[in-house]
Structure 1
Amino acid sequence: MQKIYSLLLLLVFVSFSFACKDEDGDPLDVFREIAFNSLTVSEKATVNNDWKQAEVGAWVDGYYLVVFESTDAGLADIRVVVDPTNGTVVEILPRI
């Protein structure tokens, strides 16, 4: 009987570990995608690297700031503020 309980316990732990496995990679990719999809076609054309490599950092009020490198030397990088709770873009900051 002890072996059956041990086997069941092992089965529960194994199934739990598979259920918790993150197969999507970086969890910040969700915020990168929300920010990238909010850009215009012309803004997307000036993104220097793959949008999945954009820098994501903390911003005020619990928001995230996603920064896309720009290929246009005359303009600053594209900076998008994302609300993680609602999954929406709060603001696209001016490119000065």
Structure 2
Amino acid sequence: MQKIHTLLLLTLLFLAAACSNSEEGDPLDVYREIAYNALSSAEKATVISDWRQAEVEAWVDGYYLVVFQSTDASLGDIRVVVDPLAGTVVEILPRQ
């Protein structure tokens, strides 16, 4: 039941943001920015292309996963879990 409430709240938040946003921007940009700001300067230096184009996908428990492609193929991409309700980073996942 808690998951249903969380899902409904997220849906309402997205709808409210979409309706109140007069600009033609991606509503997921806020999660990209939260994730990017949590990276160290060394991690930011390895991000390929524009961080504003990072992939964002649904994650467990209503969180979102932001994936920044990295120049360091041996370490893999930088993956950051964001809590959309709190607007904070939950964790930066280990690189693979």
Coarse TM-score class (shorter-chain normalised): 0.7 to 0.9
Whole-Å Cα distance in 2 between the matches of residues 57 and 77 of structure 1?
14
CA-CA distance at 1:85 after TM superposition: 0.1
Cα-Cα RMSD: 1.4
User: Which amino acid letter does the alignment assign opposite residue 43 of structure 1?
Assistant: E
Give the TM-score normalised by structure 1. 0.77
User: Which amino acid letter does the alignment assign opposite residue 73 of structure 1?
Assistant: A
Aligned to 1:94: 94
CA-CA distance at 1:22 after TM superposition: 3.2
Whole-Å Cα distance in 1 between the matches of residues 86 and 21 of structure 2?
24
Aligned to 2:84: 84
Query: Share of identical aligned residues, percent?
Result: 73
Give the TM-score normalised by structure 2. 0.77
Q: What is the aligned length?
A: 78
Q: Which runs of 5+ in 1 are unaligned?
A: 1-18
Moved over 2 A (4+): 19-22
